[in-house]
Chain A
Amino acid sequence: MTPLAAYLIVAALIFAIGLAGALTRRNAIMVLIGIELMLNAANLNLIAFWRYGPHPELLTGMMFAIFSIAVAAAEAAVGLGLVISIYRHAKTADVEQMNRMKG
């Protein structure tokens, strides 16, 4: 059986890729995709810890992951809505240009 560390390493890699995407891409859509990757890396960790945890028969990790996916879907919908409305307003999806979020 594949050891737990392999899952965790994969999840960490996905998280790192997502984080790098979210922090470095200039396109707002790409930033959103990076955030989705990080979320799914977290989900993978939840499943892995559940599967290798003391009570794999209780389906608690599964439930957790499904909730998390649902929340991520809602979040993606809101995020995309925001990006679209910003695009309509500023005629760009470049996060470098979106610099009005300050006091």
Chain B
Amino acid sequence: MQEAMAFTPQIDASSITRLLWLIPALPIVAAGIISVLKQPRRKLASSLAIGSLGISLLIAIIAFVHVLSGWSHGHAVREIVNFSWMTAGTQAVELGWVLDPLSAVMLVMVTLVGLLIFIYSTGYMEHDENYTRFFCFLALFAGAMLGVVIANSILLLFMCWELVGLTSYLLIGFWYQRPSAAAAARKAFITTRVGDIFFLLGIVWLFAQTGTLLFYDHGAGSMEPLALGGMLVHQSHWGLTAAGAIGLLIFAGAAGKSGQLPLHVWLPDAMEGPTPVSALIHAATMVAAGVYLIARVYPLMSAGAVAQGEAPGTTTALMVVTWVGASTAVFAALIAVAQNDIKRILAYSTVSQLGYMMAGLGLGGVAVGMFHLITHAFFKALLFMGAGSVIHGAREEQDIRHMGGLRKYMPWTFYSYAVGMLALCGVPIFFSGFWSKDEILESAHGWPLSQAPYYMLISGAVLTAFYMTRQVSYVFYGEYRGRGHAHESPRVMTTPLVILAIFAITLGIIGTPAWPWFRAFLENHAASVEMHAFSESAWLMLLLTSCVIVIVGIGLGWWLYGNKSPRAEETDALQKAISPVWAVLANRFYVDELYGATVIAFYYWWAKVADWIDREIWGDMVATVTLLFKGWAQLNRFLDANMVDGAFDKGCEEIYNGGGVFARIQNGRGQIYLRLLALAVVILAAILIWSGRP
């Protein structure tokens, strides 16, 4: 049924909304079928996965067009289908899905990027013997992620969220024979679990406050004004409203999944998985789930400010989101500068960009953060798949110091990678990354509370341009320093790269200040082309800032690394200049070591204490009780064996002997029987005679 929104109320859910469940269901069913296929059925496995996701993409596009046409006719489309999963007492556990601009955009992005990565994987994983298992996990992941996207019930969202976490674990540890991959998988699972505990607490609290699990339910859902108002009245501790506290708890879950600052440690290690997995899960879609979650519960996060007529970004929850996002953006960009593994650089870049998205959500609202999410998904998937192509072409080498000069050997990869790199750096006008990053910077500039996030994000952008230039110089320029002979990847891998590159350039069009279509679409108001937006001084200032950022970053990188072809064992150019700082950066600010020395050390200690308590205290208590029972049992055994059994045995023996005596009488001779009979008669007669006497 359809939700009455901005202008025109509508009644029925369209048939496309009723079929929306097919989008996640198809890949999940495909995963189920693939899981029972035998290992040699490679072709069938990959076609099932690709085919199911292809159909999902078609349905997603139809749904998107449906939302689009509703929007262009002036309806805010938010169609929901809810149903009751089970009833416990008076409370029903309700699930459902929702089709609104937010989910429609995400659906198209996830299915499209996913499909391209699936196709790419057929080339990348060609020589892997566990090809079918890989596609099974990929399809399961895609289904779960799409489930997160369409969920209208926070419980359904959480279930798919955990399923996404599971597939992430399975895929990071896909090459589980390597101890490092197995460790990375565990780390990812446990670290995100820390966030998920808070998320679960938030869900429970939200349910306790609103009495519903649904986001939208004709005015009765938890993201609708009635429930939000109720949560604002309720004061929690430390001056937070219930809405703010729940928002923070949910953000903790999102921070775990999206690699935000305290919980970012798992994401770089997740690069142990196959490269398509890194592209799909740890760059484009899954890590974006956290950002999407915040966008989905944005009404909750911004509730207080909206009620008081202030800017949405000033609620406590969104302030935390902003600060965490901005810190993550700078922090991860700094680390990325000093890494040498091609995928690790991209991983830290992803962490940093996720920080941008979070900051965008906190500062500018859903449209700003989601726009960067969408553009980033395309160009970061492009970069990861380009990196995969490089690794594939350079004989499984991942250290950028052992690459170099690949521009000549891998032209397709180089040009598409360059597009991705320029988009990530935010080169003005021509690349989508510029437009989306620009919007974030613009919102940061206009944030009423502080200008610090603005400067943090700007320095992050300079660093981004710098480390990407460093990486590209190392990988594609200079002389080839690797082993063997580098070669271009097969067509099945380069084609998706080119398609993604096209998106990385063109996607910017939907979010320019002159035609803020994307924002209008997500925020449900009409979009118009206003060319004069380009001539506004604020925007021109921003353009100038962006130009300076990019020129400084790229120029510095090129000055230090460009075309120099340093030998592999040579010290890094930047390391010569700032070696103590470099050590800190190269060691990732010692965060892993810090966690190792605090949290993990504490857990080891606690485990030892628990073990000691278990062994020494509980163990001894159990041993004492055991001893008591053993003693008692021994006593019982003695009594039984010597007294009860003795008596019984003796009785049995006597009866047996008696039987022997009587058996001797029965000797088969009739005359003896007769004699006994006569004797008995005589005795009887004697008794009668005797007793008959007076």
Question: Does A102 belong to the interface (CB within 8 Å)?
Answer: yes
Question: Does A22 belong to the interface (CB within 8 Å)?
Answer: yes
Q: Which of A19, A22, A95, A103 contacts B669 (CB 8 A)?
A: A95
Give every chain A residue within 8 A of B673 (Cβ-Cβ). 101
Question: Does B90 belong to the interface (CB within 8 Å)?
Answer: no
A31-B671, A95-B671, A96-B671 given as contacts; is B678 within 8 A of A19 (CB)? yes
Give every chain A residue within 8 A of B678 (Cβ-Cβ). 19, 23
Tell me, in angstroms, the Cα distance from A99 to B673 when the chains sit together. 11
Tell me, in angstroms, the Cα distance from A87 to B678 when the chains sit together. 26
The contact size tier of chain A is 10 to 19
Contact indicator per residue, chain B 650-676, by CB within 8 Å of chain A (1) or not (0): 000000000000000011111101110
Minimum CB–CB distance for A22 against chain B, Å: 6
Give every chain A residue within 8 A of B667 (Cβ-Cβ). 99, 102
Question: Does A98 belong to the interface (CB within 8 Å)?
Answer: yes
Which residues 74-94 of A sit at the B interface, judged by CB distance below 8 A? none
Tell me, in angstroms, the Cα distance from A101 to B670 when the chains sit together. 7
- When C-beta atoms are compared, the residue in chain B nearest to A99 turns out to be B668
Give every chain B residue within 8 A of A19 (Cβ-Cβ). 678
Tell me, in angstroms, the Cα distance from A15 to B674 when the chains sit together. 15
Q: Is the CB of A98 within 8 A of B670?
A: yes
Tell me, in angstroms, the Cα distance from A98 to B674 when the chains sit together. 14
Residue picked from A22, A96, A100, A102, most chain B C-beta under 10 Å: A102
Contact indicator per residue, chain A 20-37, by CB within 8 Å of chain B (1) or not (0): 001100000001000000
A19-B678, A23-B678 given as contacts; is B671 within 8 A of A101 (CB)? no
Q: Is the CB of A103 within 8 A of B666?
A: yes
Q: Is the CB of B669 within 8 A of A98?
A: yes
Q: Is the CB of A102 within 8 A of B670?
A: no
Q: Is the CB of B674 within 8 A of A101?
A: no
Q: Is the CB of A101 within 8 A of B669?
A: yes
Contact indicator per residue, chain A 32-46, by CB within 8 Å of chain B (1) or not (0): 000000000000000
Q: Is the CB of A99 within 8 A of B674?
A: no
What is the total of A-B residue contacts with beta carbons within 8 Å? 27
Q: Is the CB of B668 within 8 A of A102?
A: yes
The contact size tier of chain B is 10 to 19
Tell me, in angstroms, the Cα distance from A90 to B673 when the chains sit together. 20
Minimum CB–CB distance for B664 against chain A, Å: 11
- When C-beta atoms are compared, the residue in chain B nearest to A96 turns out to be B669
Give every chain B residue within 8 A of A22 (Cβ-Cβ). 674
Q: Is the CB of B674 within 8 A of A23?
A: yes
Minimum CB–CB distance for B308 against chain A, Å: 108
- When C-beta atoms are compared, the residue in chain B nearest to A26 turns out to be B671
Give every chain B residue within 8 A of A102 (Cβ-Cβ). 666-668
Give every chain B residue within 8 A of A100 (Cβ-Cβ). 668
Minimum CB–CB distance for A33 against chain B, Å: 14
- When C-beta atoms are compared, the residue in chain B nearest to A34 turns out to be B674
Minimum CB–CB distance for B659 against chain A, Å: 12
Give every chain A residue within 8 A of B668 (Cβ-Cβ). 98-102
- When C-beta atoms are compared, the residue in chain B nearest to A103 turns out to be B666
Give every chain A residue within 8 A of B666 (Cβ-Cβ). 102-103
Give every chain A residue within 8 A of B669 (Cβ-Cβ). 95-96, 98-99, 101
Tell me, in angstroms, the Cα distance from A96 to B678 when the chains sit together. 18
Q: Is the CB of A95 within 8 A of B675?
A: no
Minimum CB–CB distance for A91 against chain B, Å: 18
Tell me, in angstroms, the Cα distance from A22 to B671 when the chains sit together. 8
Tell me, in angstroms, the Cα distance from A67 to B600 when the chains sit together. 114
Minimum CB–CB distance for B350 against chain A, Å: 97
- When C-beta atoms are compared, the residue in chain A nearest to B666 turns out to be A102
Give every chain A residue within 8 A of B675 (Cβ-Cβ). 23
Give every chain A residue within 8 A of B670 (Cβ-Cβ). 95, 98, 101
- When C-beta atoms are compared, the residue in chain A nearest to B677 turns out to be A23
- When C-beta atoms are compared, the residue in chain A nearest to B681 turns out to be A19
Tell me, in angstroms, the Cα distance from A101 to B667 when the chains sit together. 8
Seen from chain A, the residues whose Cβ lies within 8 Å of a Cβ on chain B are: 19, 22-23, 31, 95-96, 98-103
Q: List 6 A-B contacts (CB under 8 A).
A: A19-B678, A95-B671, A96-B669, A98-B670, A99-B668, A101-B670
Q: Which 3 A-B pairs have the closest CB atoms?
A: A102-B668, A99-B668, A101-B668
